[in-house]
A and B are shown apart, each in its own frame.
Chain A
Amino acid sequence: MKHLPLLLVVALAGCTPESEPLAVGPAPEVTGDAPVLRRLTESQYEHALQDLFGDDVYIPDAPEPDLRAAGLGRIGASQVTISPRGVERYEAAAYVLAEQALNDVHRSTWMPCEPEGVTDDACAGQAMELLGRRAWRRPLADDELATLVALVNDASTTLGDFDEGLQFGIAALLQSPDFLMRPELGEPDPDAPGKLRYTGFEMASRLSFMLWDSIPDDALLDAAAAGDLDNLDGLTTEVDRMIADPRAHRGLRAWTDDLLNLGTLADIQKDPTVFVYLREGLFEAAREETLAGLEDLVFARDGDLRDLLTTRHTFLDRNLATLYGVPAPIRDGLGPTDLPEDGARAGLLGQAAILAQFAHPRSSSATKRGKFVRETLLCQTMPAPPAGVNTAIPEPSPDAPTLRDRIAVHLETPVCAACHKLMDPIGLALEQFDGIGVYRTTEADTQIDASGDLDGKKYDGLIGLARAIRAHNSFVPCMVNQVARAATGIQQTDEDEASYDWLAEKFAEEDFRLQALWRDLALSPMFRRVGEVQE
């Protein structure tokens, strides 16, 4: 379990709207974490290719699946390698893309010149320079360019066609670690002798993968080239532009997918004989509900991120509306709607994406739901059950009709209770929602007791739980942690602690707006400074 520094708890307590706002000082100076080498995530790879060649290009399925570590694919990205199968699939994808880049639809959208003859050094060079700068997020060095041009010339000669040869140059760009990996190693900082900072181009990459889940655009690379990303003013201009850009929606969606592991909804298995509201496409829509809700909160409203837990505003299609027992807001697709103010459902915890994901194929699971809240929303670590423990719980019976009755054994057995008392009471508050999220008041003809206790705060039902989490000391720092870890690709280090604390204070000062948190993080020394390579 992580323990919040006491000072931070006190500071946060002082930041509730009821009290005088505290003026938060400047971000702490740091020496920088050691550089990490990240592999593009599945969605970053896809977005990068779309940004290079157009949204309509066909991109083969993710060559390498993300590997989650510490709850995020973005942390795993700093640890993974490229497997032999991955090499093969990246190669195949590179040629599929290279061919499309030069077809009738796409060629004219980017090709900077027309070749004179089967080989044309100048034109091959221009094409490689242009795509290389975008794909590798920096200008190509002379020798790198020369190698690629020679490769293109060789291929064009062999195949007797300039464009066919050029495909091999594009394929080389797209298989190179300069594209697939993110080397960000820093340079000496002229303003701080002995310290390193990320280069302007590395900052461009860091910003674009954080905010857009993709490669920089030309304007950002131009800003890097002009040195604008080396100072706070230039950086602020670009960060503001990027947050206002529609591509920031992609960044938010990718972060949400990663945080809530929404990809698992695609393969979720539920028994249709138990859950009669199951429909084709239900969980696809459920994922979209969660994503659309966050986009609305963060972009349309620039609202308080804590509202994520308690808002009645959401986006439903007809199947989800049926599931939730409310009128469908729209005939096709998802539409905005407000759930009843006096209803039992609100916020993230009331969404099918969460209720179904943290449940079993034929039933709910108080333990899984509680674990999700502890780990993902409060950033606490739940130990695994000790080995050798009899984990059986009683079958449903007249003596133990509800899940609460049956998993009471967890809390009666000391070895189980140590952890289950942290999880089960949270999940039991959600028992009025079944394994796919349908509201119910009884189980086996017995009234469901949805009362609970979150670290001393008593509540009833989903709404009560959501409010308790919202008010919990760990929730806001945890959201900061989830944003910062995803952006840096590493777990919080001792070196980062002061920066994380500062971000949480600043986040509170700025009314818990995610856009403000992104800006503060992007401009902070922690995000701009890098340590020495570790041998």
Chain B
Amino acid sequence: MTINRRTVLKGLFGGAVATVALPPLEAMMNRSGTAWADGSSFPKRFALWTWANGVVPAFWTPSAQGVGSAWELSPLLQPLAPVKSKLALVTGLEIRAINSIPHYSGFGSLLTGLGQLGTEGDQTYAGPTIDQIIAAQIGGDTPYRSIEAGAWFSEGMSFNGPHSPNPPETNPFAMYQRLFGPTFRAPGEDAVIDPKLGLRQSVLDVVTDRVTALQAKLGSADRARLDQHLSGIRDLELRLTRLQAGPPDLAACSRPDEPLSLDKLEDPFLNHRELADMLVMALACDQTRVLSMAFMTPVSNYLFPGATAGHHELTHNEPGDQPSVQANTIRAMEELSYFLSKLDSVQEGDASLLDHSLVMATTDVSLGKTHSLDDYPIVLAGSADGALVQDIHYHSTGRENASKIMLSAIRAMGVAAPSFGDEDRLTTDGISAIEA
């Protein structure tokens, strides 16, 4: 059934506030605590996790391919040993982009399937990124369509469309307030009964009318921009409605501890872990089903502890096998491993939250030194509830189109997409070797 908010509001304002019967929300799943709406399957979750400045491919690609004991982790992938059994590693793919803006052309094309928009210094991609493509399909049933986080930099890599970034939250305290603050209800707690929620919705109705009235006077490009605004308003209205309906009963969900610091923590590693803990719980509490985490953003020149130069500078200037660049990548993989292990530690029924998820981890270039876009590093982890083969390394030798892995991921999430990408990047096939 659909939610009739007016009914809720009338009830709230018409009489005894606390006795209002709230309509069941269509998507509030079942309340057994062990399973979800259809009694058997947990929802699928998607997370995009990105690091900066690529890899040194010779030390990234495992020497053998295959499943299980047929392949071993490469030096750069060693930190992922605890979760190797849940990885689907694909190597050898090529991003088909005109590489005119290093760190952006390829990354943007990978995430959107489209060509580069604008020129250097324009902080935008040409269309929605994969997390938002997926969120548009599976994000509507949770309080937040998606959540974006950044461990250090405030630049985002999640886009709703051109010039429509989803700015990441870098401050764990602000993230906590947003996800688990005063309006969060843990399982077993009562719904929020507050007449102000209904009034806030009335205000949003007025704002919606103002946006619509303005749209009528504008050209198509500006109307489309304001459509994004309207979409955000609808998300907020829906969230306010859900607050009044009470929390779902989820065994794995509990209110996490509030961060001790009001500020971003002093280093990106600590900050990442603080945020990652919260994001994992946001999934367990079904606050959202789609995440993105930018551990570092493109061209990051962050000075890693012990390094002799900033990360980006090193990728260009360090000679030989670039041991310092490799050390930085390993440090990033340790953070990825932390996030994946944390997801894996949450039990949902007879599997883990990671099993029910698909995490895509990737970066802004392949070899940083040359900004190359071939042999692109992409790690998948979690099977999206059995949709992907696990503990596999598949190496493509034919410079396959990187859009294929995106399509595999989208389909693994249960989204029936006929294709991904445009022009050279267009594919109607995923990578069958990793599809279960």
* Complex CA distance for A185 and B213, rounded to whole angstroms: 14
Q: Which residues of A contact B313 (CB under 8 A)?
A: 360-361, 363, 365
* Selected contact of B303 from candidates A155, A159, A361, A391, CB within 8 Å: A361
Q: Which of A167-175, A238-246, A323-331 contacts B (4 or more CB under 8 A)?
A: A167-175
Structural contact, A81 and B160, CB atoms closer than 8 A: yes
Q: Answer whether residue B317 sits at the interface, using C-beta atoms and an 8 A cutoff.
A: yes
Q: Which residues of B contact A533 (CB under 8 A)?
A: 217-219
Nearest CB of chain B from residue A265's CB, rounded to whole Å: 14
Structural contact, B222 and A37, CB atoms closer than 8 A: yes
Structural contact, A37 and B369, CB atoms closer than 8 A: no
* Complex CA distance for A147 and B99, rounded to whole angstroms: 52
Interface band, chain B: 35 or more
Residue of A at shortest CB range from B320? Answer: A392
Q: Interface readout for B206-248 with A: 1 if CB under 8 Å, 0 if not? A: 1101110010011111100110110111011000000000000
Structural contact, B372 and A88, CB atoms closer than 8 A: no
Find the residue from B145, B161, B236, B373 having the highest chain A CB count within 10 A: B236
Structural contact, B318 and A177, CB atoms closer than 8 A: no
* Selected contact of B236 from candidates A76, A79, A88, A181, CB within 8 Å: A88
Query: For residues 362 through 394 of chain A, which have their beta carbon under 8 Å from a beta carbon of chain B?
Result: 362-363, 365, 381, 384-385, 387-394
Interface band, chain A: 35 or more
Residue of B at shortest CB range from A387? Answer: B99
* Selected contact of B229 from candidates A81, A361, A391, CB within 8 Å: A81
Q: Interface readout for B1-45 with A: 1 if CB under 8 Å, 0 if not? A: 000000000000100000000000000000000000000000000
Q: Interface readout for A78-105 with B: 1 if CB under 8 Å, 0 if not? A: 0111111111100100010000000000
Q: Interface readout for A499-534 with B: 1 if CB under 8 Å, 0 if not? A: 000000000000000000000000000000000011
Structural contact, A65 and B120, CB atoms closer than 8 A: no
* Complex CA distance for A362 and B311, rounded to whole angstroms: 11
Q: Answer whether residue A154 sits at the interface, using C-beta atoms and an 8 A cutoff.
A: yes
Find the residue from B160, B210, B309 having the highest chain A CB count within 10 A: B210
Residue of A at shortest CB range from B226? Answer: A177
Q: Answer whether residue B84 sits at the interface, using C-beta atoms and an 8 A cutoff.
A: no
Q: Answer whether residue A269 sits at the interface, using C-beta atoms and an 8 A cutoff.
A: yes
Q: Answer whether residue A285 sits at the interface, using C-beta atoms and an 8 A cutoff.
A: no
Q: Which residues of B contact A393 (CB under 8 A)?
A: 316-317
Structural contact, B199 and A271, CB atoms closer than 8 A: no
Given contacts A83-B167, A361-B310, contact A154 B199 (CB under 8 A): yes
Chain A contact surface mostly:
loop
Q: Which residues of A contact B122 (CB under 8 A)?
A: 68-70, 76
* Complex CA distance for A94 and B435, rounded to whole angstroms: 48
Q: Answer whether residue B256 sits at the interface, using C-beta atoms and an 8 A cutoff.
A: no
Residue of B at shortest CB range from A39? Answer: B225
Q: Which residues of B contact A64 (CB under 8 A)?
A: 167
Structural contact, A83 and B310, CB atoms closer than 8 A: no
* Selected contact of A384 from candidates B100, B202, B301, CB within 8 Å: B100
* Complex CA distance for A168 and B203, rounded to whole angstroms: 7
Q: Which residues of B contact A362 (CB under 8 A)?
A: 303, 308-310
Q: Answer whether residue A535 sits at the interface, using C-beta atoms and an 8 A cutoff.
A: yes
Nearest CB of chain A from residue B278's CB, rounded to whole Å: 15
Query: For residues 347 through 366 of chain A, which have their beta carbon under 8 Å from a beta carbon of chain B?
Result: 360-363, 365
Given contacts A384-B120, A388-B371, A533-B217, contact A360 B167 (CB under 8 A): no
Structural contact, A87 and B301, CB atoms closer than 8 A: no
Q: Which residues of B contact A322 (CB under 8 A)?
A: none
Q: Which residues of A contact B162 (CB under 8 A)?
A: 79
Nearest CB of chain B from residue A312's CB, rounded to whole Å: 32
Nearest CB of chain A from residue B175's CB, rounded to whole Å: 11
Nearest CB of chain A from residue B35's CB, rounded to whole Å: 29
Given contacts A177-B211, A178-B214, contact A385 B102 (CB under 8 A): yes
* Selected contact of A387 from candidates B102, B123, B232, CB within 8 Å: B102
* Complex CA distance for A91 and B237, rounded to whole angstroms: 11
A sample of 9 more A-B contacts (CB under 8 A), given A155-B202, A159-B196, is: A76-B122, A76-B123, A91-B200, A388-B372, A391-B370, A392-B318, A393-B317, A533-B219, A535-B220
Can you give 15 A-B contacts (C-beta < 8 A)?
A37-B225, A69-B163, A79-B163, A81-B226, A82-B229, A84-B236, A147-B206, A175-B203, A176-B211, A178-B210, A181-B214, A269-B303, A384-B102, A390-B369, A393-B317
